[in-house]
Amino acid sequence: MQRNKSLKYRWCGLFAVTVALALSAGYAWSAQDAEVVPASRKVEAKNMRLVGYNDLQARSAYQPLVHHQGNRWIAYIGHHGGTQEIPQPYNPLTKQKENNGTSLVDVTDPKHPKYVAHIPGEPGFDESGGAQMVRVCDGKQLPKGDPAKVYLLRTGGTSAQEIWDVTVPERPSLLTTVISGLKDTHKNWWECDTGIAYLVSDGRPEKWRTKRMTKIYDLSDPAHPKFIRNFALVGQQPGAAGDNVPEDTHGPIVVGNRVYFGYGTLLGGVIQIVDRDKLLKGNPASKDPFAPTPENLLYPQISRLDMYPTVGAHTTFPVLGMEVPEFEKFHTKTGDAKSGKPAKRDFLVVVDESTQNECYEDYHMMFMVDITDETKPFSVSNFYVPEKSGNFCARGGRFGTQSSNEDMGPIYYKRLVFIAWFNAGLRVVDIRDPFSPREAAYYIPAISKDTAKRCVKVDGVDRCKIAIQTNNAEVDDRGYIYIVDRANTGMHILELTGEARKIANFK
């Protein structure tokens, strides 16, 4: 049952009117000359359809972000590093082979997305290269930004955090390097209205006991970054005793005066809720409010939830002020005294990350955590895709959750969340009843000629398959949904149909 034979594969694409529709239609593979086993030859969908497609120059994609920029909509996509087979994909715009970095795609017309620029990143493979993370702010919103400019905050591979001028997306230019000399970076957050940025960065150069912690900067003037403080969990600080070091920071999300941190990614997970004002001002009882002492690190913490050892907190997406229809007739001490109705409830959508191909790990899924009493967060439900529904463990690549969308616009917020599920594509989850989430839609793209193989070792020999690896999802304020693929399949632009579309709040 093992295959140790490397033969060339042949792609027989069936072209339709546009490249996007052709790519969505699927591919025919020749069994006798396939290098690896293709897992999904055609689109699988429920209550979703393809609007447009871009191949992203066959680069492994991580974070998509869609920004309304003047009269245009621009998708910024952060990339992982290259592959051993193709370390530097070809950029037809520059006619050069380039390290994976950041793609800029004009999606003003979502049916015909146009690739306008690529900013090269660091050399390296998978997560050791590229430029995974992107955030964008308009200068007119930043307190000290140039109102005529648009700024891109991105990771400079694993070694730096950078700010680029992307006012003209076709001509991005480096503005400044916020910090360099790191050995790891990851998922940032940038408050456009204040300029405060939470940069997940390597703590080891400053003797912190973690490769990913949070460095907080004032980027209200993007050309002149100002460092505020370092922050991490107690036990990760320099000089901490003991071998039980908490897992690395994955990333924060900020809403109002709260910062929701996720740690652990795929195991040893921790959810931490932090008072933003206390975090930024520091402990007034300390001579050095930002010194990395246990007291100073605990000062802004409102609560901490330690998850099951094999579960992580890749994404902690707050969904606040939810009305739960099933609770309408219940009158509790936490209810609204005037209306007699139960109080609105607050939740975190917590997603952990699958990392092993072909299910050689615990199943990772989505959790709903009730934070109505934010001092006592409590998991109340979960959602998962039944493996048998698509024989997903046998398809190849990763199966399980990766992340949720992070947009809080009114079309989907408190109604639907969009979860990247690797070889199970995008899953759309109805959370109107957060105690009983259910699937509303899904979309699994077809593999393409660019989809990279994914391997596991069996008795010391690689067994490889080709499968979709939907890595991240995002939505824009028009309601379009964007998914990007870790295995080089590109970016698909989608829309809801049928019953799922009825759930959304389209005007």
| Mean pLDDT taken over the chain | 91
Q: What is the model's pLDDT at position 329?
A: 78
Phi first, then psi: give them for residue 240, nearest 5 degrees: -65, 145
Backbone angles phi, psi at 278, to 5 degrees: -65, -35
* pLDDT for residue 325: 85
pLDDT at 126: 87
For residue 328, what pLDDT is reported?
79
Provide the pLDDT for residue 336: 61
> Band of the pLDDT at 188, cuts 50, 70, 90?
very high
Q: How many residues does the chain have?
A: 507
pLDDT of res. 338 = 61
Which 3 state secondary structure label does DSSP give 8? Answer: coil
CA-CA-CA-CA torsion sign (473, 351, 443, 89): positive
**Contact indicator for 74, 104 with CB cutoff of 8 Å:** yes
Of all residues in the chain, the percent with pLDDT exceeding 70 is 90
Task: Quote the pLDDT of residue 424.
Answer: 98
Highest mean pLDDT pick, 27-41, 166-180, 336-350: 166-180
Task: Give the pLDDT of residue 8.
Answer: 34
pLDDT-based confidence at residue 20 (cuts at 50, 70, 90): very low
C-alpha closest to that of 364 among 336, 339, 341, 393: 393
Strand partners, 119: 102
With a cut of 50, say whether residue 2 has pLDDT above it. no
CA angle 500, 44, 24 (to 5 degrees): 105
For residue range 373-404, list pLDDT tens digits in order: 999 999 999 999 999 999 999 999 999 999 99
What per-residue confidence (pLDDT) applies to 180?
A: 96
pLDDT beyond 90 at 231? yes
Confidence at residue 24, expressed as pLDDT on a 0 to 100 scale = 39
Beta bridge partner(s), residue 193 = none
Q: What is the pLDDT of residue 507?
A: 80
- Residue 11: the pLDDT is 36
CA–CA dist 119, 100 (Å, integer): 8
Instruction: Please give the pLDDT value at position 158.
Output: 95
Strands 173-179 and 189-190, sheet pairing: unpaired
Residue 112 pLDDT exceeds 60: yes
Residue 103 CB partners (closer than 8 Å, separation 6+): 56, 57, 59, 61, 75, 76, 77, 79, 115, 117, 118
How sure is the predictor about 194, in pLDDT bands with cuts at 50, 70 and 90? Answer: very high
Q: What is the pLDDT of residue 327?
A: 84
Average pLDDT, stretch 45-70? 98
Distance, in Å, from the CA atom of 100 to the CA atom of 129, rounded to the nearest integer, reads 7
Of 380, 363, 364, 361, the residue nearest 372 (C-alpha):
380
Reported as a pLDDT band with limits 50, 70 and 90, residue 363 is very high
pLDDT digits (tens, 9 = 90+) for 134-152: 999 999 999 999 999 999 9
